[in-house]
Amino acid sequence: MPDTTYEIIAEDNYPRLDKFISDKIPELSRSKARVLIEQKLVTLDGRFVKPTYSLTAGQTVVVTVPPEPSEIPQPQNLPINFVYKDDHIAVINKQPDFVVHPGTGNKMGTLVNALLYHLGDLPSADQENRPGIVHRLDKNTSGLIVVARTKEALLALKKQFAERIVEKEYLAITDGIPLIKEGTINLGIGRHATKRKIMAAKAQGGREATTNYAVIDIFPKYALVLAKPLTGRTHQIRVHLKSIGTPVLCDSTYSRRNRVYAWELMKTSKNKGEEPLLARQALHAYKLSFLHPKTGKQVTYETDLPSDMQNVLDVLRSMR
């Protein structure tokens, strides 16, 4: 990461230096910011100061964050559901509870580790721990993801995502029924003001984010919603659906619960020992369209709902 410069303004409320850095760079905890300061990787008006130094308006902070040590992922024999593959791309139906690429706390057991085992070497762009990866799905979101098998395919697909040529469609079960049954959510998305590890929808500020949606089935207190994100912000669909009062069912970050049982939906007495119907966010990337990087022709792939989401819908429909 290159040096980053910050000018202290009145709105910053003049905090101590380590807190200021952790607020401005969310991926850094205050303790990590303190380490950078002690390692003389932070300057205040060109000089080194203590982490507890209180800032004032008009000062300039320059932060140097050293790159993480390069860790090349290792192949791992994990099952993958291939929807399609050729010499240039592969399309995967990702199961829930599957992290896409290695990161802090997930060096093994990711989709990338499995891809390297099944497909062999994959091209990397700017990050060695993400070979073949051109877009992501959250850990507990299931569904379609395209992987590049050549450098040419990687660059072509990245360009398509950047230019918003790729069309993605998701199915979500929402906790609540949207008041407007079809519409567009245009709210920027940025870090939550106080909970820095989660995202929030913002009328002002945040990065531009747009999601089209339509309710395609309604049940008492729940709905099946088709969502089409036109941008690719972190947690976009989850945050946007929460912003209209209908979070994704069982979204442990943005909704009121993280699992649902048949007895809850059917309003019967609690069945001790019963397994939950759903224990992750009810969000599935069911359709993906893009231009094949070799042929230039548009290709479209679809996949059925996973069993946990289908089971919830079956119970809801049985009560009509």
* Residues annotated catalytic, as ranges: 138
For the chain, list the strands marked E by DSSP. Answer: 4-7, 42-44, 60-63, 82-85, 89-94, 142-148, 167-175, 182-186, 188-191, 199-202, 210-219, 222-229, 283-291, 298-302
SS3 category, 312: helix
Specify whether the CB–CB gap between 177 and 246 falls below 8 A: yes
Single-letter code of the amino acid located at 309: M
Cβ neighbours of residue 71 closer than 8 Å, sequence gap 6 or more: 102, 107, 128, 129
258 is written with which tokens? Answer: 């993280």
Give the phi and the psi of residue 57 in degrees, each rounded to 5.
Answer: -60, 145
